[in-house]
Amino acid sequence: EYSTLCQLVEPLTIGKTGESCQRHGTCLNGVCHRVGRKWKCQCHTGFQNVNGSCIDIDECLNNVCRRGECTNTDGSFICTCPDGFVLNKDGRTCTDMNECEKENMCPNGVCQNMNGSYKCRCNPGFRQSPNQQVCYDINECVNNGKLCLNGDCHNTPGSYYCECKRGFSLSPDGAFCVDYNECLVKGMCTNGRCVNMDGSHKCICMLGYTLSAGGQVCIDVNECVNNPNLCTNGECINTQGSYKCECYRGYILQPDGKTCRDTRRGLCYTQVHRGQCSNPSYSPMTKSTCCCTEDNANNGWGTPCEICPKPNDRDYKTICPHGPGKDGNGGGINECAMYPDACQNGACEDLDMGYRCICDPGYKMDDTGRACVDINECAENKYICDGGKCRNSPGSYTCMCPTGFVQSKTTKMCEDINECESFDTLCVGGNCVNLAGSFRCECTVPGTVLDSSARVCIDNRRGTCWKKIHNDLCEDNIKGDTLRSECCGTLGKAWGSPCERCPSQSSRNCPKGYAIISGVKCTDINECDVLPGICQNGYCINTDGSYKCNCPEGLSIDQSGHRCVDYRKSSCYLEYNHGRCSGELFGQFHQAICCCSVGTAWGSPCNSCPQPDSDEYKRLCERRGYAPNFKEQKLNFFKDINECLEIPDICSNGVCHNTPGGFNCDCKQGFAIDGRGFNCTDIDECRISFGVCANGTCVNTPGAFTCDCNEGYEGVMMNQMCI
């Protein structure tokens, strides 16, 4: 067949397969077969006969490739699988490729196959790559800043480890370093207190101990070596954790435990003669204060007196370890305090070595420098008091200038004093005229004259003092004449005739109750003398700048402060005879209400009321039937007494009618006014009427009578007749 095919000389032309087979015995993309007398082309696989020609079949149109991509070829097709898939033997199906079966897939993790792929599930300490197919080591030291706290973090493949700092140990989970409590170690910080710290510890040593070089224990401090001068005036002895001071003889250890002081105190003597001490100090002092002065050549101290050692003596260094001028404790010795009289007529100034005197004015220092002597100014300057006499005095001098002259500070001479210029108030109320060595005052206001001091112009005129001014008219004058200053300084509103208004209080030179009587000083006004009768019904007591009214027993001062009024209430009696009181009224009454109306006696025990023509009666009642207005507290105003209201049992058996200064009783039928005009008494008709109740007996009753008829008779007309 091949030879037959290849012997064809003419090229094949694409045409219908039947014709090709008929002419050439071959067909494109197929095989020629004789069918009967005809040839027929049978197409190869992948081709189909279309109108006698073998045309390629596009298998890709029939989705022949599962899970892959189909590519058509002549007479066939090719399936191309995606990554992670492989083509089955049928050439048509892409199945998943299990990458996990390959060796070394997913190191540091576990390979997990997936549809068309795979992923790695990483071991702890590793993380996936973005495509999840590689496991990378996690650097825990970088990712977690709190890891390995108090230590150093070291990364390892898939993990890490902590290297702790000194003083720290690894926690149970190995994630961080925890503090190690060194204080739990036995013997740590001996002689002290162990304080655990974060990663370390410290020893707080007890007083008297210090930390050793290793910092683990506290060792004793030798205070005596470290501070040779620790014990003042004593010997230092070291002890465990402390020290003690043993004082020298004669010294006593102080509360601070390190200072030895000579606390014995005795008198210091500045003179010693043949073992006898004299000239003692004012107050006791320590031996070192006495014996360590700059000059102690003749000093002694104490009782019995001990002679102070000299600077070259053996005991001097013990008593005066700091040398002269310093006491045993190293303090300065104040000679000024030791000897208060060291610098008479001057001030004592303490120096480091000794003292010096600063003299007062008028004194100068003597040659020793420790005493102040008087300066005789009169002898040193003969012109110091020219025109007068110079008299020296201790620390000063006095110029004896004639009266009216004074020493000039400039010329030191005695010059005339212009008193009128030197003293503004020299002449009060007048003019000052200067004279050589003196002055005189002249009064310029009419009515004023110089007082006894010849320096004050006073108004010594006396006139009427008025207590009221009404419509520019002066009223209510005070009895007697007074000085204007006395009048206007007390109760006066105006003074004189014709009257002149008193100046206002703000323009007066003296406060209320004071006046300038003589001189320039405000003196108290004795109102009790100047204003006679100022205290009505009482007596006046003068006080500084004022006065007060005191009342007799039983009286009280009223609101004005000038009048004593009897506020008491007591029994009122209608009759008083030979010291006996009778006819007591019901109730309690003021004395004026009682005595100024119907009463003749008052009080308990009772006393006779004042006689109507007496001064006492006028002060009490003013007139009959009038008394002070007690209800409205207007005790200066006398008001008619309403007896009908004030006296409850007045006008019994009648009707009371008040009248100015009195009252009237209208009696009921059968009653008549009594002899005093106070009450209505029963009329005894049986006694005063003749022949009444004939044929019977008359029986008197209050305000009427009845007849008690004889046998056989009968009472008629309200039993006032018998028939």
Environment class of residue 403 by beta-carbon count within 10 Å: exposed (0-12), middle (13-18) or buried (19+)? exposed
Note the pLDDT of residue 11: 42
How do residues 276-319 score in pLDDT, each as one tens digit? Answer: 888 888 888 888 888 888 777 788 988 888 888 888 887 788 78
Write out the two tokens for 721: 């007749």
CA distance 493 to 500: 9
Backbone φ and ψ of 19, nearest 5° = -70, -40
| Ranges in the chain, pLDDT < 70 | 1-20, 22-26, 250, 518-519, 632-636
CA distance 271 to 296: 10
Note the pLDDT of residue 8: 43
CA distance 159 to 181: 29
Burial 272-301 (b: 16+ CB within 10 A, else e): beeeebeebbeebbbbbbbbbbeebeebbb
* H helix or E strand, kind and range, residue 478: strand 473-483
The Cβ-side half-sphere exposure at 38, using a 13 Å CA radius, reads 6
Note the pLDDT of residue 494: 92
Strands (E), 319-436: 346-350, 355-359, 363-365, 372-374, 389-393, 396-400, 405-407, 414-416, 430-435
Give the predicted TM-score (pTM) of the model: 0.33
CA distance 192 to 447: 104
Question: ∠ CA 28-33-36 to the nearest 5 degrees?
Answer: 140
Cβ 463 vs Cβ 481: under 8 Å: yes
Note the pLDDT of residue 13: 39
Tell me the longest C-alpha to C-alpha distance in the chain. Answer: 219
Note the pLDDT of residue 10: 41
CA distance 168 to 195: 15
Q: How many CB atoms lie within 10 A of CB 327?
A: 24
CA distance 346 to 372: 6
Q: Tell whether the torsion through CA atoms of 205, 211, 217 and 221 is positive or negative.
A: negative
Which residues does residue 163 pair with via DSSP β-bridges, in sequence order?
A: 152
Note the pLDDT of residue 12: 40
Write out the two tokens for 684: 């005894």
3-state helix, strand, coil in the chain (%, to 5): 10, 40, 50
Environment class of residue 451 by beta-carbon count within 10 Å: exposed (0-12), middle (13-18) or buried (19+)? buried
Note the pLDDT of residue 197: 82
* H helix or E strand, kind and range, residue 540: strand 539-543
**Long-range CB pairs of 350-359, under 8 A, 24+ apart, other chains included:** 352/325, 353/294, 353/324, 353/325, 354/293, 354/294, 354/295, 354/325
Nearest CA to 585 among 571, 575, 597, 596?
571
Sorted by sequence, the CB contacts under 8 Å of residue 160 that are 6+ apart come out as 140, 141, 147, 148, 153, 154
- The CA–CA distances, whole Å, from 158 to 110, 123, 145, 174 equal 14, 8, 17, 15
Cβ 525 vs Cβ 518: under 8 Å: no
Write out the two tokens for 427: 């002449």
Matching residue, tokens 């300057």? 381
Cβ 246 vs Cβ 259: under 8 Å: no
- DSSP 3-state assignment of 678? coil
Which residues does residue 359 pair with via DSSP β-bridges, in sequence order?
A: 346
Environment class of residue 411 by beta-carbon count within 10 Å: exposed (0-12), middle (13-18) or buried (19+)? exposed
Note the pLDDT of residue 9: 40
Q: Is the bond preceding 304 in cis, omega lying within 30 degrees of 0? A: yes
Sorted by sequence, the CB contacts under 8 Å of residue 333 that are 6+ apart come out as 289, 292, 293, 325, 326, 327
CA distance 134 to 313: 104
Backbone φ and ψ of 24, nearest 5° = -115, -10
Write out the two tokens for 481: 């004449």
Cβ 68 vs Cβ 79: under 8 Å: yes
Write out the two tokens for 430: 């007048």
Domains and CATH numbers, the chain: 140-180 (2.10.25.10), 183-221 (2.10.25.10), 224-253 (no CATH), 264-340 (3.90.290.10), 346-374 (no CATH), 377-416 (2.10.25.10), 423-461 (2.10.25.10), 642-678 (2.10.25.10), 684-722 (2.10.25.10)
- The CA–CA distances, whole Å, from 28 to 48, 52, 53, 714 equal 11, 10, 8, 196
The Cβ-side half-sphere exposure at 190, using a 13 Å CA radius, reads 8
Note the pLDDT of residue 14: 41
CA distance 67 to 533: 148
Environment class of residue 519 by beta-carbon count within 10 Å: exposed (0-12), middle (13-18) or buried (19+)? middle
Nearest CA to 114 among 137, 82, 88?
82
How do residues 47-95 score in pLDDT, each as one tens digit? Answer: 888 887 888 888 888 888 888 889 988 888 899 998 888 888 888 888 8
CA distance 237 to 244: 5
Phi-psi region for residue 446, left (φ > 0), alpha (ψ -120 to 50) or beta?
beta
Note the pLDDT of residue 20: 62
Sorted by sequence, the CB contacts under 8 Å of residue 561 that are 6+ apart come out as 548, 549
Note the pLDDT of residue 79: 92
